């Protein structure tokens, strides 16, 4: 066996179909595109979702509900999470930037503090919003809450 005698296995290599090269090729004339119509032309591209004139799926399915563009969504952090941060890092004030640095929220998130859990540490908390129970627990522990915006 030598390099110049190597050949691919029988049936492994197919010849290209040479469309539009005359009637003798068997694929001349319309070049397998059929007769006339959009799909026979060069540069054909159907519209996204087009189903040949049939009512497209996105129009057949009923739509429900309403998306309020002015809805404000908050990423919630509970008081017990603040206590864990105070215990593990020994901090006395927590801001939204601190929560971002600890990986609890993303930069674009608005943060709301909720009152689930216990808080023993005296913390100064700065966030976008807080529930009444959370503010009560923060103040009862000797801390304070300030709302952003």
State the CATH number of the domain containing residue 134: 3.100.10.10
Is residue 58 situated within a structural domain? Answer: no
pLDDT at 12 over 80: yes
Helices (H) and strands (E) in the chain — how many of each?
Answer: 4, 6
Domain holding 126, by residue range, is 74-147
Domain count, the chain: 1
Is residue 11 situated within a structural domain? Answer: no
The pLDDT, as a whole number, for residue 142 is: 95
pLDDT at 120 over 90: yes
Give the mean model confidence (pLDDT) for residues 124-136: 96
Is residue 7 situated within a structural domain? Answer: no
Q: What is the pLDDT of residues 131-140, one digit of tens each?
A: 999 999 999 9
Torsion angles phi and psi, residue 50, rounded to 5? -70, 135
Is residue 127 situated within a structural domain? Answer: yes
């Amino acid at each position: 066996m030598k390099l110049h005698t190597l050949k691919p296995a029988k049936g492994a290599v197919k010849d290209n179909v040479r469309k539009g090269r005359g009637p003798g090729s068997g694929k001349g004339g319309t070049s397998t595109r059929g007769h006339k119509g959009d799909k026979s032309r060069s540069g054909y591209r159907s519209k996204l979702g087009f189903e040949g004139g049939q009512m497209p799926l996105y129009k057949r399915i009923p739509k429900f509900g309403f998306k309020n563009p002015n809805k404000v969504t908050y990423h919630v952090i509970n008081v017990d999470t603040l206590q864990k941060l105070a215990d593990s890092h020994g901090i006395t004030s927590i801001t939204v930037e601190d929560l971002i640095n600890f990986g609890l929220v993303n930069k674009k998130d608005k943060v709301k503090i909720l009152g689930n859990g216990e808080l023993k540490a005296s913390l100064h908390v700065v966030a976008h919003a807080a529930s009444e129970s959370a503010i009560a627990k923060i103040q009862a522990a000797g801390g304070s809450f300030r709302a952003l915006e």
